[in-house]
Amino acid sequence: MAPASPTVNAAGNPRTARRGWRRALLLAAPLLLAGCSFFEQPTQLRGNRVDPELLSQLTPGVQGKQDVIALIGSPTSRGTFDDNYWYYISADTRIRIGRSQAVNNQQVTELRFDANGKYAGSRVVGEDGARQLDLVERETPVPGGDRTVLQQLFGNIGRFGPGAGGAQAGQPTGRQ
């Protein structure tokens, strides 16, 4: 008897075997395509977005820093050189193709306090009012950064001779 062809099923019918592969492929295709995101990912709020209604409840010269924390929450950041500036930073983000973050709407709410720690005022800065910074293209050189992959792989071969490094058998290692 001749060996069975790979496209022949156990009953000896080649058509049924091909249909089985087609069915398996049709069932697996939606699972494989599920990883390809054709639909836009939902946006996620990151940070602490200040509700304008809560911000309107603050009266300059009346509430202190603890009152603001109780009403709005802790700030995302405080001023680097002046603790009387508080920043609440938030952004709507979504994941793009390739799993990178896309920022849709970034907002910074700045709260100012006077020298006595009382609320003095606020302003909201959106993407329009953000300052664009130019990044510096220079890089700090680091020792060993100019070696190629082959130099890194084979650089130590023959560098250390016998007895050039490490403790010999029977000698103390310095650890006790």
Q: Answer whether residue 88 is part of any domain.
A: yes
Question: What is the structure's pLDDT at 38?
Answer: 59
Q: Answer whether residue 111 is part of any domain.
A: yes
To which H or E segment does residue 108 belong? strand 101-113
Distance CA 113, CA 122 (A): 9
To which H or E segment does residue 124 belong? strand 119-125
Q: Answer whether residue 49 is part of any domain.
A: yes
Q: Is the pLDDT of residue 112 over 90?
A: yes
Taking only the tens place, the pLDDT of each residue in 139-151 is: 888 776 777 878 8
Distance CA 15, CA 176 (A): 76
| Residue 11: band (very low, low, confident or very high) from pLDDT cuts 50, 70, 90 | low
Q: Answer whether residue 159 is part of any domain.
A: no
| pTM score, whole prediction | 0.54
Task: Take residue 119 and report the two structure tokens written for it.
Answer: 């609320």
Q: Answer whether residue 120 is part of any domain.
A: yes
Contact 55, 67 (CB under 8 A): no
Taking only the tens place, the pLDDT of each residue in 77-104 is: 999 999 999 999 988 888 777 667 788 8
The CATH number of the domain holding residue 106 is 3.30.1450
Tokens 């996620």 appear where? 44
Taking only the tens place, the pLDDT of each residue in 20-70 is: 778 888 888 777 776 665 566 778 888 888 898 999 999 999 999 999 999
Number of compact structural domains in the chain: 1
